[in-house]
């Protein structure tokens, strides 16, 4: 009896709160339920559920997720309004459990509110963390990967051999970014701690899965208070594991002590890694460059950079395997523009127009983040003629926009040639294609991601022949999470190219 009265009391309070929200904003169809709002309409994968809602009810939708008002858009014109006229207003982030447990209580640059501290972190990442001058080791990491595949081919490199594509790509990205952050490698020759890399990968995958789940506790406070579902408990566990991993790396760099040279005024250009830079700054400004701040930068780069970039390259290889003519065309371009006397390098990238289009088309069909990281309005504004109150969460469904029938010809076809025209990614047309986001919170690692993807995919195509494991097409089913992983990790058959033998041995 007491439990029933408690439930009745909770429901009554929730109904009062929701009714109050309804009076503040005009909500379109579909019909919301008490307490849940429109949460009952969401199924996994979330981006596909939201796409169906937009197809059925419109491309600018006012929804209610529990007690939180949500503006869901999949319209280029509405996107432009949000990130031009209202860019500063929508530069904020909503406070959610992922930001608390994975983003150091919303202080990491990805999760931080739009404020002076965020601007300082963003500037630091542009000048130090993501500067091209801090990326000299990538060529050696890529060369090591190619040699590993080459030596693993065996039998005089005459026969095709199976490889787990996701594994090799994640290992590469893990080495690249951990080297950038701490001059540390977790895979390959000279690596003494591969088990740490494997553990980190498992934790990152779980963090992305939890971040992309429809966490009721984010939208219905009583669910969090009562601990229903256990999502926050899992987040705390994963967040603790990530924190321990990051802290160990920081302590290792602190013991090495090279950061002291920079704290004493050493040459700025010789700062070898991001943690050493931040430890040196910590000596002068312990508040803004605390260990927590360092770990926030690490999670923005290590967790986000490895999974998203490796995932995009995996999708690209899957699409090329399913479209062998496109693979042949990419290989022919590399043969003509690069040749076989050297491994593809930075100077070759600008000449690979078709490969560039292949990656663009992959990101159109399978953007690393199908929904932009949520934004939140910091004050009242107007979008598409409708009043949007302060505190509204903005969800931009780029998955729906980049597959829209009214925006693209044959949108579900893999057709890299569609990007031969620059009009698709510039001007007003560009708002229908924003795989790296847009506005003040646009992905700061976009340039480096492009460089990594072009060089890696270019090298894999240049050095090896690729085939599907069987006659059947690769399964392109989508997995779940904040990104779009392949539901079934990609396996492929590869064989070294004879004309690259002299370069690889």
253: left (phi over 0), alpha (psi -120 to 50) or beta: alpha
Query: Which has the closest alpha carbon to 63: 81, 50, 75?
Result: 50
- Whether 357 and 487 have beta carbons less than 8 Å apart is answered as no
Q: What is the pLDDT of residue 3?
A: 39
Give the long-range contacts of residues 140-143, CB within 8 A, separation 24 or more. 141/172, 141/175, 141/176, 141/179, 141/185, 141/188, 142/172, 142/343, 142/455, 142/456, 142/459, 143/343
Query: Which has the closest alpha carbon to 458: 223, 142, 212?
Result: 142
Report the DSSP beta bridge partners of residue 478.
486
Longest dimension (CA), the chain: 81
**DSSP state letter for 37:** B
Task: Return the structure tokens found at 281.
Answer: 């700054």
- Whether 365 and 478 have beta carbons less than 8 Å apart is answered as no
Q: Tell me the backbone φ, ψ of residue 464, rounded to 5 degrees.
A: -135, 155
Helical axes 165-182 vs 194-212, angle rounded to 10°: 100
CA 116 to chain centre: 24
Q: What angle do CA 237, 286, 280 make, to 5 degrees?
A: 100
Q: What angle do CA 359, 476, 147 make, to 5 degrees?
A: 55
> Rounded to a whole number, what is the distance in angstroms from the first to the last CA of the chain?
78
Report the DSSP beta bridge partners of residue 393.
70, 376
**Domain locations in the chain as residue ranges:** 2-504
Task: Return the structure tokens found at 263.
Answer: 């704290």
Q: What is the pLDDT of residue 412?
A: 97
Q: What is the pLDDT of residue 131?
A: 73
Query: Which has the closest alpha carbon to 383: 71, 93, 113?
Result: 71
User: For residue 340, what are the contacts with CB-CB under 8 A and spacing of at least 6?
Assistant: 462, 497, 499, 500, 503
Is CATH 1.10.630.10 what the domain over 2-504 is classified as, yes or no? yes
Give the long-range contacts of residues 114-118, CB within 8 A, separation 24 or more. 114/88, 114/378, 114/440, 114/441, 117/288
- Whether 201 and 193 have beta carbons less than 8 Å apart is answered as no
Element (H, E) at 173: helix 165-182
pLDDT tens-digit profile, the chain (505 residues): 433 434 434 544 454 454 445 434 444 568 889 989 999 998 888 999 999 999 999 999 999 999 899 999 999 999 999 999 999 999 999 999 999 999 999 999 999 999 999 999 999 888 887 876 666 668 888 999 999 999 888 766 778 999 999 999 999 998 888 888 888 887 655 555 677 888 888 888 888 888 876 567 888 887 777 777 788 889 999 999 999 999 999 999 888 877 777 656 655 555 568 888 888 888 888 888 999 999 999 998 887 788 899 999 999 999 999 999 999 999 999 999 999 999 999 999 999 999 999 999 999 999 999 999 999 999 999 999 989 999 999 999 999 999 999 999 999 999 999 999 866 666 667 799 999 999 999 998 898 899 999 999 999 999 999 999 999 999 999 998 888 999 999 999 999 998 888 888 7
d(CA 67, CA 13): 11
d(CA 457, CA 317): 8
User: For residue 252, what are the contacts with CB-CB under 8 A and spacing of at least 6?
Assistant: 182, 184
**DSSP state letter for 448:** H
Q: What is the pLDDT of residue 231?
A: 82
Q: What is the number of other CB atoms lying within 10 angstroms of the CB of residue 156? A: 7
User: For residue 383, what are the contacts with CB-CB under 8 A and spacing of at least 6?
Assistant: 60, 71, 73, 78, 81, 82, 86
443 is in an annotated binding site: yes
């Amino acid at each position: 009896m007491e439990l029933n009265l408690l439930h009745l009391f909770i429901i009554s309070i929730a109904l009062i709160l929701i009714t109050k929200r309804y009076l503040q904003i005009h909500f379109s169809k579909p019909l919301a339920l008490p307490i849940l709002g429109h949460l009952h309409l969401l199924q996994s994968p979330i981006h596909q559920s939201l796409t169906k809602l937009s197809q059925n009810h419109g491309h600018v939708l006012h929804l209610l997720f529990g007690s939180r008002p949500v503006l869901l858009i999949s319209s280029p014109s509405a996107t432009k309004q949000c990130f031009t006229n209202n860019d500063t207003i929508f530069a904020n982030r909503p406070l959610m459990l992922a930001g608390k447990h994975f983003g150091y209580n919303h202080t990491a640059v990805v999760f931080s509110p739009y404020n002076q501290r965020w601007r300082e972190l963003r500037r630091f990442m542009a000048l130090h963390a993501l500067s091209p001058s801090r990326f000299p080791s990538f060529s050696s990491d890529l060369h090591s990967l190619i040699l590993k595949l080459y030596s693993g081919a065996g039998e005089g490199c005459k026969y095709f051999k199976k490889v787990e594509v996701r594994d090799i790509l994640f290992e590469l990205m893990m080495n690249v970014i951990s080297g950038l952050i701490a001059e540390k490698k977790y895979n390959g020759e000279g690596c003494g701690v591969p088990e740490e890399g494997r553990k980190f990968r498992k934790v990152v995958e779980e963090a992305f899965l939890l971040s992309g789940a429809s966490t009721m506790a984010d939208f219905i406070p009583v669910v969090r208070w009562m601990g229903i579902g256990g999502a926050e408990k899992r987040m705390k566990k994963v967040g603790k594991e990530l924190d321990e991993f990051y802290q160990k790396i920081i302590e290792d760099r602190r013991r090495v002590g090279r950061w002291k040279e920079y704290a004493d005024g050493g040459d700025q250009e010789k700062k070898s890694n991001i943690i050493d830079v931040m430890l040196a700054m910590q000596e002068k400004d312990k508040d803004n460059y605390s260990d927590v701040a360092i770990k926030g930068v690490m999670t923005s780069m290590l967790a986000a950079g490895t999974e998203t970039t490796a995932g995009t390259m995996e999708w690209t290889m899957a699409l090329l395997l399913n479209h062998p003519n496109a693979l042949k065309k990419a290989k022919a371009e590399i043969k003509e523009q690069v040749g076989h006397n050297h491994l593809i390098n930075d100077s070759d990238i600008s000449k690979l127009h078709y490969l560039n289009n292949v990656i663009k088309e992959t990101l159109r069909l399978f953007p690393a983040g199908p929904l932009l990281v949520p934004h939140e309005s910091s004050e009242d504004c107007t979008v598409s003629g409708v009043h949007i109150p302060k505190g509204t969460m903005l969800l931009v469904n780029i998955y729906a926009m980049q597959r829209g029938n009214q925006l693209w010809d044959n949108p579900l076809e893999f057709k890299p040639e569609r990007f031969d025209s620059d009009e698709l990614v510039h001007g007003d047309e560009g708002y229908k294609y924003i795989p790296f986001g847009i506005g003040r919170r646009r992905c700061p690692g976009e340039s480096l991601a492009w460089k990594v993807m072009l060089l890696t995919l270019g090298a894999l195509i240049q050095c090896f022949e690729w085939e599907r494991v069987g006659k059947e097409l690769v399964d392109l089913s989508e997995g779940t999470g904040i990104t779009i992983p392949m539901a079934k990790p990609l396996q492929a058959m590869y064989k070294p190219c004879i004309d690259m033998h002299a370069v690889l041995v």
